[in-house]
A and B are shown apart, each in its own frame.
Chain A
């Protein structure tokens, strides 16, 4: 997944761990997460980042019930 430049925060989703509960999509204040049409090896759909617009609030991270399904990468201020 192309993350453009490191100056912007961005989420990293691990498709195998996601179980498509959708809480991150509901929690995202910017609406930058969507459910994929594909399914992972365990038979669940998984969440995808639309590619831009993430503000690094990490709501998605805190809402996710599955350990290891989503991370939020927030660049340090220079």
Chain B
């Protein structure tokens, strides 16, 4: 992620340690100064996100990383940046919760991160990698998207991905860090006219801001959905999963195909914007059944149900508390769902 950030021109890292995200902070502390970029370990997550806010207001490409409890602390800052239309990248390496939880992997921050998380009518773009390569590539993309739309962007991973070691192909090109002065406030004569604020005391003006934000989010929805499709062409039993759960789901699809079950996987790489249209189209196939594989209490499952407008059955395969979902568990659910389909038809 640090490699991706550096190649994306990120020039400020402000963070606070928390397992399992501390490796990002540690690598940033090592690499950022080596290439003349700023690194500060803040005194808390709240301080870190506000440092990101300050740097971003001046047009810098700034980022931070944390885990569930730290992301909760950062929500006020993210809301402020959403309201002020300021870009940034926030990494959430999810761990088991709620509360202090433990340092095992979970996907329980979905609702928090995908639905905004802080106060007010806002959303953030959410990218969901499933490999070390994607941790790098999607972090790079996160900066581009954040600055294209001037909004906070999350990269959402989990405790397994956060501490995984895999080969990495470094990006082909890098972005030179440059300050976008068209809207930023960077202490130069050109930017003296700019105003960055999230306060609108006049109710109508505040509503205008909210309308602008909703228009922006419509634009994001129309243009930035990214999914991976695996064996979906003729699939009638569709798994939906992201992150580490998607890797297990992919193995399950392969195994199911060996057993003659027409399974497939839709893996969202963007959780906001959510692949509503893609799921809607799949739901139009007769006899489709969805199986959502996630390490939470069904947060992704709820969005899948919404996307298919509850027109098709959506079942949940889940574990919580830091436990990984086993291949056997997914296979049992697939066989049971496929069996139901046969019994009906």
Is the pairing of A and B real? Answer: yes
B19, CB-defined interface residue at 8 Å:
yes
Q: Which residues of B contact A65 (CB under 8 A)?
A: 19
Q: Contact: B19 with A42, CB < 8 Å? A: no
User: Taking CB as reference atom, which chain B residue is nearest A17?
Assistant: B102
Selected contact of A43 from candidates B19, B100, B163, CB within 8 Å = B163
Q: Which residues of A contact B22 (CB under 8 A)?
A: 21
B103, CB-defined interface residue at 8 Å:
yes
Binary per-residue interface labels of chain A (29-55) against chain B in the complex, 1 for a CB within 8 Å, 0 otherwise: 000000000000011000000000000
User: Taking CB as reference atom, which chain A residue is nearest B100?
Assistant: A67
Residues of B within 8 A of A (CB-CB), count: 6
B104, CB-defined interface residue at 8 Å:
yes
A32 and B104 alpha carbons, distance in the complex (Å): 29
A19 and B159 alpha carbons, distance in the complex (Å): 13
Q: Which residues of B contact A21 (CB under 8 A)?
A: 19, 22
- Nearest-neighbour CB distance to chain B for A73, whole angstroms, equals 24
A19 and B19 alpha carbons, distance in the complex (Å): 9
Question: Interface size for chain A: under 10, 10 to 19, 20 to 34, or 35 or more residues?
Answer: under 10
Binary per-residue interface labels of chain B (1-44) against chain A in the complex, 1 for a CB within 8 Å, 0 otherwise: 00000000000000000010010000000000000000000000
8 Å CB interface, B81-138 against A: 100, 103-104
- Nearest-neighbour CB distance to chain B for A17, whole angstroms, equals 9
- Nearest-neighbour CB distance to chain B for A57, whole angstroms, equals 24
- Nearest-neighbour CB distance to chain B for A68, whole angstroms, equals 10
Q: Which residues of A contact B163 (CB under 8 A)?
A: 43
- Nearest-neighbour CB distance to chain A for B323, whole angstroms, equals 11
User: Taking CB as reference atom, which chain B residue is nearest A67?
Assistant: B100
A65 and B103 alpha carbons, distance in the complex (Å): 11
- Nearest-neighbour CB distance to chain B for A32, whole angstroms, equals 25
A46 and B104 alpha carbons, distance in the complex (Å): 16
A19 and B22 alpha carbons, distance in the complex (Å): 12
Q: Which residues of A contact B100 (CB under 8 A)?
A: 67
- Which residues in B have some Cβ–Cβ distance to A below 8 Å? 19, 22, 100, 103-104, 163
Task: Kindly list the 4 A-B residue pairs having the minimum CB-CB distance in the complex, ordered from nearest.
Answer: A19-B19, A19-B103, A43-B163, A42-B104
Apart from A19-B19, A21-B19, A42-B104, list 6 A-B contacts with CB within 8 A: A19-B103, A21-B22, A43-B163, A65-B19, A66-B103, A67-B100
- Which residues in A have some Cβ–Cβ distance to B below 8 Å? 19, 21, 42-43, 65-67
> What are 9 pairs between A and B in contact, CB < 8 Å?
A19-B19, A19-B103, A21-B19, A21-B22, A42-B104, A43-B163, A65-B19, A66-B103, A67-B100
